[in-house]
Amino acid sequence: MKLGFYPRLAADGIRKNKRMYLPYILTCTGMVMMFYIILYLSVSPALTGLKGGDIMREILSLGSWVITVFAAIFLFYTNSFLMRRRRREFGLYNILGMGKGNIARILVWETVWTAVLSIGLGLFAGITFSKLAELGMVNVMRGEVTFDLTVSHLSVIRTAEVFGIIFVLLLLNSIRQVRFASAVSLLRSENVGEKPPRGNLLLGAAGVLLLAAAYALAVSIKNPLAALLWFFVAVLMVIVGTYLVMISGSVLFCRLLQKKKSYYYKASHFVSVSSMVYRMKRNGAGLASICILATMVLVMISSTTCLYFGAEDAITHQYPREMNVSATFTDERDSSAEPVKPLRDAVEAIAASHGAELQNVCGYSYLSVSGAFLSDGEVETDANRLDSFNVSVLGNITTFCFIPLADYNAMTGEDRVLKDGEALLYAYRTSLVGDTLTFKRGLTLHIAGSADKMAASDSAARDVVPTVFLIVPDLYAAMEKLVEGMSEETEQYLVMRWLLQFDTGLDADGQKTLCKELRAKLREGGDHLIHFDGVTVGAIECRELERDQFFGLYGSFFYIGIILSIVFILAAVLIIYYKQISEGYEDEARFDIMMKVGMTRPEIRKSINSQLLTVFFLPLGFAAAHICFAFPIIEKLLRLFGLNNVSLFALTTALSAAVFALFYALVYKATSNAYYAIVSGAREDR
The per-residue pLDDT for range 334-362, each reduced to its tens digit, is: 555 567 888 888 899 999 999 988 998 88
| Residue 355 one-letter amino acid | G
Query: Residue 137: how many CB atoms within 10 A of its CB?
Result: 26
Task: Give just the sign of the alpha carbon dihedral 370, 372, 378, 384.
Answer: negative
Lowest mean pLDDT among 34-38, 57-61, 401-405: 57-61
> What's the pLDDT score for residue 196?
44
> What's the pLDDT score for residue 160?
94
The 3-class secondary structure across 603-665, one letter per residue, is: HHHHHHHHHHHHHHCHHHHHHHHHHHHHHHHHHHHHHCCCCCCHHHHHHHHHHHHHHHHHHHH
Alpha-carbon distance of 607 to 270, in angstroms, equals 8
Residue 222: closest CA among 439, 397, 378: 397
Alpha-carbon distance of 183 to 92, in angstroms, equals 7
Alpha-carbon distance of 207 to 83, in angstroms, equals 30
Residue 309: closest CA among 553, 84, 554: 554
Read off the pLDDT of residues 575-600 as tens digits, 9 standing for 90 and up: 777 777 777 776 676 667 767 666 67
Is the model more confident about 197 or about 398? 398
> What's the pLDDT score for residue 663?
86
Residue 149: closest CA among 54, 40, 51, 52: 40
Alpha-carbon distance of 619 to 628, in angstroms, equals 14
Alpha-carbon distance of 211 to 629, in angstroms, equals 10
Q: Which of 115-119, 198-202, 379-383 has the highest mean pLDDT?
A: 115-119
| pLDDT category of residue 243 using cuts at 50, 70 and 90 | confident
Read off the pLDDT of residues 612-667 as tens digits, 9 standing for 90 and up: 666 667 788 889 999 999 898 888 888 777 777 888 889 999 999 999 888 888 88
Over 70: is that where the pLDDT of 276 sits?
no
Task: Give just the sign of the alpha carbon dihedral 475, 480, 481, 485.
Answer: positive
| pLDDT category of residue 610 using cuts at 50, 70 and 90 | low
Q: What is the pTM assigned to this prediction?
A: 0.73
> What's the pLDDT score for residue 169?
92
Lowest mean pLDDT among 256-265, 305-314, 613-622: 256-265
Mean pLDDT of all residues in 159-179: 89
Pairing of strands 444-450, 422-428: parallel
Over 60: is that where the pLDDT of 390 sits?
no
Is the model more confident about 303 or about 441? 303
Read off the pLDDT of residues 96-121 as tens digits, 9 standing for 90 and up: 667 778 888 888 888 999 999 999 99
Alpha-carbon distance of 356 to 358, in angstroms, equals 7
> What's the pLDDT score for residue 686?
40
Query: Residue 442: how many CB atoms within 10 A of its CB?
Result: 18
Q: At what angle are helices 267-309 and 618-639 packed, to 10 degrees?
A: 20
Pairing of strands 359-373, 397-404: antiparallel
What Cα–Cα distance (Å) separates residue 488 from each residue in 398, 475, 492?
A: 20, 20, 6
What is the full DSSP assignment across 219-256?
HH---HHHHHHHHHHHHHHHHHHHHHIIIIIHHHHHHH
> What's the pLDDT score for residue 608?
67
Alpha-carbon distance of 297 to 305, in angstroms, equals 12
Phi and psi for 423 in degrees, rounded to 5? -155, 150
Over 70: is that where the pLDDT of 209 sits?
yes
> Element (H or E) spanning 450, and its range?
strand 444-450
**DSSP assigned state of 399:** E
> What's the pLDDT score for residue 46?
77
Alpha-carbon distance of 369 to 384, in angstroms, equals 14
Is the model more confident about 658 or about 387? 658
Query: Residue 425: how many CB atoms within 10 A of its CB?
Result: 19
CB 537 within 8 A of CB 529: yes
CB 114 within 8 A of CB 28: yes
Alpha-carbon distance of 19 to 685, in angstroms, equals 8
Pairing of strands 444-450, 378-380: unpaired
> What's the pLDDT score for residue 271?
60
> What's the pLDDT score for residue 265?
60
Under 8 Å CB-to-CB from 127, ≥6 apart: which residues? Answer: 36, 151, 156
Is the model more confident about 676 or about 458? 676
Over 70: is that where the pLDDT of 682 sits?
no
CA torsion, points 481, 482, 485, 486, in degrees to nearest 10? -150
Q: Could you give the residue ranges of the DSSP H alpha helices within 141-223?
A: 153-179, 183-187, 201-220
> What's the pLDDT score for residue 2?
57
| pLDDT category of residue 193 using cuts at 50, 70 and 90 | very low
CA torsion, points 127, 132, 133, 137, in degrees to nearest 10? 140
Query: Residue 650: how many CB atoms within 10 A of its CB?
Result: 14
Coil, strand or helix at 139: helix
Mean pLDDT of all residues in 221-241: 80
Is the model more confident about 80 or about 108? 108
In the chain, what's the furthest Cα-to-Cα distance? Answer: 101
Over 70: is that where the pLDDT of 221 sits?
yes
What are 247's strand-pairing partners? Answer: none
Alpha-carbon distance of 200 to 386, in angstroms, equals 43
Over 50: is that where the pLDDT of 146 sits?
yes
pLDDT mean across residues, the chain: 79
| pLDDT category of residue 197 using cuts at 50, 70 and 90 | very low
> What's the distance, CA 153 to chain centroid?
30
Alpha-carbon distance of 377 to 439, in angstroms, equals 9
Is the model more confident about 289 or about 298? 298
The CA-based angle 11-17-20, given to 5 degrees, is 120
Over 60: is that where the pLDDT of 333 sits?
no
Alpha-carbon distance of 450 to 384, in angstroms, equals 31
Percent of the chain residues past pLDDT 90, beyond the cut? 13
Phi and psi for 138 in degrees, rounded to 5? -65, -35
> What's the pLDDT score for residue 683?
43
Over 70: is that where the pLDDT of 681 sits?
no
Over 90: is that where the pLDDT of 316 sits?
no
> What's the pLDDT score for residue 188?
59
Coil, strand or helix at 677: helix
> What's the pLDDT score for residue 149?
73
What is the full DSSP assignment across 61-77?
HHHHHHHHHHHHHHHHH
> What's the distance, CA 227 to chain centroid?
14
Alpha-carbon distance of 6 to 472, in angstroms, equals 85
Q: What percent of the residues of the chain are helix, what percent strand, and what percent coil, each to the nearest 5?
A: 70, 10, 20
Q: At what angle are helices 201-220 and 618-639 packed, to 10 degrees?
A: 30
Mean pLDDT of all residues in 128-136: 86
Alpha-carbon distance of 394 to 469, in angstroms, equals 20
Q: At what angle are helices 267-309 and 646-679 packed, to 10 degrees?
A: 150
